[in-house]
Amino acid sequence: MTAEQEAAARQLLELYADILEHQHGPCLAGRAALMAWIDAQFLHLAQLDAPEHAASDMINHAYVLWQAEALGLDIND
């Protein structure tokens, strides 16, 4: 990946982080952890070959679960 492509990918992740925090609240683990988490989510979904239209919903759902866990909430209760 070129430096230009890396910068563009980083901007995309930053934008996605902004959207998640705007929709669901600030990340309790901090921005650096959120960026690493989003990067891992995108890699995981790429490995699964998840359909593009489903990826956003999957990440939104996973983010809410991650934040609930950080608060010590069990959504299965």
pLDDT in tens, 36-48: 999 999 999 999 9
Asked whether residue 57 is domain-assigned, the answer is yes
Asked whether residue 60 is domain-assigned, the answer is yes
How many domains is the chain partitioned into structurally? 1
Task: Tell me what the mean pLDDT of segment 11-17 comes to.
Answer: 93
Asked whether residue 7 is domain-assigned, the answer is no
Asked whether residue 8 is domain-assigned, the answer is no
**Which string of b and e fits 27-51 if b means at least 16 CB within 10 Å?**
beeeeeebbebbeebbeebeeeebe
The pTM of the full predicted model, rounded to 2 decimals, is 0.86
13 pLDDT tier (thresholds 50, 70, 90): very high
Instruction: Inform me whether the pLDDT recorded for 53 exceeds 90.
Output: no
Asked whether residue 34 is domain-assigned, the answer is yes
What is the rounded average pLDDT for all residues in the chain? 92
What percent of the chain is predicted at pLDDT more than 90? 77
Asked whether residue 10 is domain-assigned, the answer is no
> Domain containing 58: what range?
26-77
